[in-house]
């Protein structure tokens, strides 16, 4: 073997052929399969294999039935120096390494010249690794966007357009006009002409409205090139002989004007009041300090709104924030703004217009780069988008309601051309994403209006996640837009995940409203952490009183298959939950988190409804619920012959009458032949309870249980060993998975290892090294 490696090393130094490099892989695989450690020669050869040649031999290795995963894993450990999460299952280390390598090179966080395995003048690191990128993350001040749209990286961007599926934004900060223009081109290439199907935004405490609206509109498929940007070559090729797409573009706006709903009419009054306030401030400002301000309407449309004027070409019909207008644009825009302001002033008092408030910005780090960036966006720092409504504040809530009243008063007899949200008819419509996720991105009223306006006709959207966005009373606008979306032909929305700290509607009433608005929804996950007494449940705009949104009539039959609900503190009305369950005849999975009912009878009513109306229910989960007084209801569930998986997580099952309840529970499980999985984490089962559960696997049991989770149940090593011995005595075959996380197995490590060794003969054991004494100390310290 050493002779073969020597020959391979010499040929490698002479830029050997691909087949000869495959010999190295073959020898390495043989040495690993035989259990022998790689020799010193192999250790000297591996550093000579740079990633570019290693990539080239991949096809040859596959033809020979070889695997290079061990080499890529070693490169990951030595170069990336991070350990993947224990929850992550890495199926291909080659793809994982190349994707991470692309991101590091793009951000400049890795120096390819520092290691010979990364440096080769005949290869481009970005181009070579771009075809492996399935997920790209853009952080902070849009680093990497300008580099990707540069002409030298044209082939890189073309490759990304076909390989990239998920685009993520994390911890965004304020950006200048040039960075936003680069991002516009990047999104156009990756979404409109590419394969990106998911856009996710994470942790954006103070969103910049201009940037946020840009990401939203581009994700929805709208495109208008900036005035200073080059024309899109792909747009010119694709537009020749191509008819407009009926499934997206025509459905969004129709043949003439967009559909006007309550949310849009509220936005119209908001825009009019802002233009009026802006005009007053501009008149008082000095010409030297005057800045051009843009509303949401201007960010999505061409410069003018005069229907008699010929539309501008697509290449010049959109302006980026902070750019200069064409000579003919100011007059048209000014006249449109003045007419809108005049129309609004006739219908609403001047005092009702909300006054702009400056947005608190992050302080930039001292240095040349920060100073240069601020010089480039001096006017941008005072942009109109800095006017943000904080929904959670009392004063902002009052202003929001005033805007709604202005909108209601400005609607009757108004000219439709002055009332709409941005007229998107002038925009070109391309493909849009199918999954949108917003995690911890507070939505101002302006941002919420824009999102709702886009959602009302976003027919390609299949999954929507809104997590801790501070919607407040904007939830009614969201319901309005979802209701409008559901009636669109070709609506594909099937999954909705909604979570927030507060909600002006009780969670069950909100669930009923969503189910009625989206009868074709398959997956609904909704969570409200705290009940809100301060939020005004009145519906803003022209949506009517809460009864018109909530409704007292029965819910029509829907297509829900998975329902997950996280409740705030306080007793929940069981009849409302039962009404949702009765209308969800196709429900297969139900999860209730922190649900509290007035009495065990109410909980029993919910379970009886499940048995009578949800005959297809397979998985049922309860988390953080006090079921100590509901033991008869728990036995009722365990006797249900349709359920395949039940979870009681931290439900205090054995807090009362454990000696009487455990035998009854075991007897119910022994007679259930359909139950496949039982999860009991955090119920203080103890050694006695574990040994009682062992009887479920006895010879006279008809149970087919194959998954058991007994994590966080105060189980000690001696009890676990006795449990393993009983399973061996009864001779049951492997019953699947056993989870033992966070038990007291560290009290006797030798006994615990022996117990786990015996258990692995009958099942797959998943455990951890948990320090119970330290955990108890941490618990006491927080009391």
Domain-embedded: residue 242: no
Do 179 and 415 touch, CB atoms closer than 8 A? no
User: CA 735 → CA 369, 502, 642, 645, 718, distances in Å?
Assistant: 61, 43, 20, 15, 21
Percent composition of the chain: helix, strand, coil (DSSP 3-state, to 5): 50, 10, 40
Residue 339 lies in a domain: no
In order of 220, 292, 316, 325, 425, the CA distances from 302 in angstroms are: 17, 15, 8, 11, 9
Contacts of 300 by beta carbon, 8 Å cutoff, 6+ apart: 213, 217, 222, 224, 422, 424, 427
Any domain includes 667: yes
Beta strands in 392-488 (DSSP E): 428-429, 435-439, 463-467
Q: What is the model's pLDDT at position 772?
A: 75
Residues 6+ apart with CB under 8 A from 3: none
Q: Is residue 713 part of a domain?
A: yes
Give the C-alpha distances (Å, rounded to integers) separating 9 from 5, 57, 63, 73, 74: 6, 15, 22, 21, 19
* β-bridge mates for residue 766, sequence order: 739
- Could you tell me which of 732, 618, 630 has the C-alpha nearest to residue 677? 618
Q: How far apart are CA 732 and CA 698, in angstroms?
A: 8
Q: How far is CA 747 from the centre of its chain?
A: 41
Model-wide pTM > 0.85 = no
For residue 155, give every residue at least 6 positions away whose Cβ sits within 8 Å of its Cβ, in sequence order, or none.
Answer: 127
The span from the CA of 146 to the CA of 205, in Å, is: 24
* DSSP state letters, 554-602: PPPP----EEEEE--SS-B-HHHHHHHHHH-TT--EEEEES--BSSHHH
Non-local CB neighbours of 581 within 8 Å, separated by 6+ positions: 587, 590, 606, 609, 610, 613, 614
Low-confidence ranges of the chain (pLDDT < 70): 1-49, 86-87, 226-230, 236-427, 532-553, 731-734, 774-783
Does 139 fall in a domain?
Answer: no
| Residue from 665, 663, 673, 667 nearest 648 by CA | 665
pLDDT of the residue at 229: 64
The phi-psi region of residue 490 (left if phi > 0; otherwise alpha if psi is between -120 and 50; otherwise beta) is left
Do the strands 222-223 and 428-429 form a parallel or antiparallel pair, or are they unpaired?
A: antiparallel
CB 509 within 8 A of CB 576: yes
| 3-state SS track over 146-189 | HHHHCHHHHHHHHHHHHHCCEEEEECCCCCCHHHHHHHHHHHHH
Sign for the pseudo-dihedral over CA of 50, 56, 59, 64: negative
Cα-based distances in Å from 103 to 80, 106, 112, 347, 710: 11, 5, 12, 53, 40
Smallest CA-to-CA distance from 680 within 706, 704, 641, 707 is with 707
The token pair that represents 555 in the structure block:
């819910």
Burial 374-384 (b: 16+ CB within 10 A, else e): eeebeebeebb
Q: Is residue 503 part of a domain?
A: no
Q: List Cα–Cα distances, 95 to 98, 129, 244, 452, in angstroms.
A: 5, 9, 37, 37
Which residue in the block uniquely carries the two structure tokens 């259990």?
A: 35
Three-state DSSP at 493 gives: coil
How many domains are contained in the chain?
Answer: 1
Q: How far is it, in rounded angstroms, from Cα 741 to Cα 390?
A: 42
CATH of the domain at 659: 3.80.10.10
CB 31 within 8 A of CB 1: yes
Sign of CA pseudo-dihedral 98, 102, 103, 109? positive
Residues 6+ apart with CB under 8 A from 270: 403, 407, 445, 446, 449
| Residue 131 included in any domain | no
Q: At 664, which helix (H) or strand (E)?
A: helix 658-670
Give the tokens for residue 181.
Answer: 């223009």
Closest CA to 779 of 687, 718, 714, 717: 714
Alpha-carbon gap, residue 432 to 192, rounded angstroms:
7
pLDDT at 57: 79
Range of the domain at 738: 618-782
For 135, phi and psi rounded to 5 degrees?
-140, 130
Can you give the pLDDT at residue 65?
81
Nearest to 423 by CA among 293, 251, 208, 256: 256
The alpha-carbon radius of gyration of the chain (Å, integer) is: 31
Q: Is 737 exposed, middle or buried (0-12, 13-18, 19+ CB in 10 A)?
A: middle
Residues 6+ apart with CB under 8 A from 578: 605, 606, 609
Q: Is-contact 200 164, C-beta < 8 A?
A: no
Residue 644 domain-assigned (yes or no)? yes
Q: Is 475 exposed, middle or buried (0-12, 13-18, 19+ CB in 10 A)?
A: buried
Distance, first Cα to last Cα, the chain: 63
Residue 533's alpha-carbon distances to 18, 426, 502, 536, in angstroms, are 70, 44, 9, 8
Q: 512 burial class (0-12, 13-18, 19+ CB within 10 angstroms)? A: buried
């Amino acid at each position: 073997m050493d002779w073969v490696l020597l020959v391979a090393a010499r040929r490698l130094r002479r830029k050997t052929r691909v087949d000869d490099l495959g010999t190295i892989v073959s020898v390495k695989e043989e040495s690993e399969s035989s259990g022998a450690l790689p020799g010193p020669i192999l250790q000297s050869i591996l550093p000579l294999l740079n990633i570019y040649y290693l990539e080239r031999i991949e096809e040859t290795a596959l033809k020979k039935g070889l695997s290079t995963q061990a080499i890529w894993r070693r490169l990951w450990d030595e170069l990336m120096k991070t350990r993947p999460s224990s929850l992550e299952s890495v199926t291909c280390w080659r793809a994982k390494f190349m994707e991470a390598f692309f991101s590091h090179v793009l951000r400049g966080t890795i120096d390819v010249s520092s290691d010979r395995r990364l440096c080769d003048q005949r290869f481009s690191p970005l181009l070579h690794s771009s075809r492996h990128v399935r997920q790209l993350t853009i952080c902070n001040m849009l680093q990497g966007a300008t580099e990707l749209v540069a002409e030298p990286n044209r082939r890189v961007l073309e490759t990304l357009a076909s390989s990239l599926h998920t685009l993520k934004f994390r911890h965004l900060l304020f950006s200048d006009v040039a960075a936003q223009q680069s991002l516009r081109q990047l999104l156009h290439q990756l979404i409109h002409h590419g394969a990106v199907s998911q856009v996710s935004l994470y942790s954006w405490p103070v969103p910049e409205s201009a940037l946020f609206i840009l990401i939203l509109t581009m994700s929805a498929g709208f495109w208008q090139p900036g005035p200073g940007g080059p024309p899109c070559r792909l747009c010119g090729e694709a537009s020749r002989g191509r008819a407009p797409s009926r499934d997206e573009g025509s459905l969004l706006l129709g043949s003439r004007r967009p559909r006007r709903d309550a949310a849009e009419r509220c936005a119209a009054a908001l825009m009019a009041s802002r233009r009026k306030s802006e005009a007053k401030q501009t008149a008082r400002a000095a010409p030297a300090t005057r800045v051009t301000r843009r509303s949401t309407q201007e960010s999505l449309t061409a410069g003018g709104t005069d229907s008699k004027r010929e539309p501008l070409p697509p290449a010049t019909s959109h302006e980026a924030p902070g750019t200069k207008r064409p000579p003919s644009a100011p007059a048209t825009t000014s006249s449109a703004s003045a007419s809108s302001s005049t129309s609004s002033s006739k219908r609403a008092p001047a005092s009702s217009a909300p006054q702009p408030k400056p947005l608190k910005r992050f302080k930039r780090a001292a240095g040349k780069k920060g100073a240069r960036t601020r010089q480039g966006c001096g006017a941008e720092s005072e942009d109109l988008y800095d006017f943000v409504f904080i929904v959670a504040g009392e004063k902002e809530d009052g202003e929001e309601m005033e805007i709604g009243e202005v909108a209601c008063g400005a609607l009757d007899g108004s000219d439709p051309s002055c009332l709409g949200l941005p007229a998107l008819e002038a925009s070109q419509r391309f493909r849009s994403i199918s999954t949108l996720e917003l995690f911890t991105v507070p939505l101002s009223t302006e941002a919420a209006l824009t999102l709702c306006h886009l959602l009302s006709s976003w027919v390609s959207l299949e999954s929507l996640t809104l997590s801790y966005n501070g919607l407040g009373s904007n939830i009614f606008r969201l319901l309005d837009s979802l209701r409008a979306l559901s009636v669109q032909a070709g609506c594909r929305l099937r999954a909705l995940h909604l979570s927030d700290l507060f909600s002006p509607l009780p969670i069950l009433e909100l669930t009923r409203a969503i189910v009625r608005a989206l009868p074709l929804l398959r997956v609904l996950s909704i969570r409200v952490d705290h009940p809100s007494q301060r939020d005004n449940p009145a519906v803003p705009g022209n949506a009517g009183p809460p009864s018109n949104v909530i409704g007292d009539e029965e819910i029509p039959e829907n297509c829900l298959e998975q329902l997950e609900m996280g409740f705030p503190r306080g007793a929940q009305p069981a009849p409302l939950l039962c009404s949702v369950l009765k209308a969800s005849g196709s429900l297969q999975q139900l999860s209730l988190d922190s649900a509290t009912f007035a009495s065990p009878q109410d909980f029993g009513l919910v379970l009886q409804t499940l048995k009578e109306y949800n005959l297809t229910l397979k998985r049922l989960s309860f988390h953080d619920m006090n079921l100590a007084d509901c033991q008869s209801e728990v036995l009722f569930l365990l006797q249900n012959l349709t359920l395949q998986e039940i979870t009681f997580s931290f439900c205090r099952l054995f807090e009362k009458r454990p000696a009487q309840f455990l035998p009854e529970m075991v007897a119910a499980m022994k007679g259930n032949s359909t139950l496949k999985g039982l999860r009991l984490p955090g119920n203080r089962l103890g050694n006695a309870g574990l040994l009682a559960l062992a009887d479920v696997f006895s010879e006279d049991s008809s149970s087919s249980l194959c998954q058991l989770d007994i994590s966080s149940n105060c189980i000690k090593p001696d009890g676990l060993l006795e449990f393993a011995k009983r399973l061996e005595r009864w001779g049951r075959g492997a019953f699947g998975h056993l989870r033992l996380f966070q038990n007291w197995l560290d009290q006797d490590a030798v006994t615990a290892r022996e117990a786990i060794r015996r258990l692995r003969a009958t099942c797959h054991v998943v455990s951890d090294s948990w320090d119970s004494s330290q955990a108890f100390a941490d618990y006491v310290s927080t009391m």
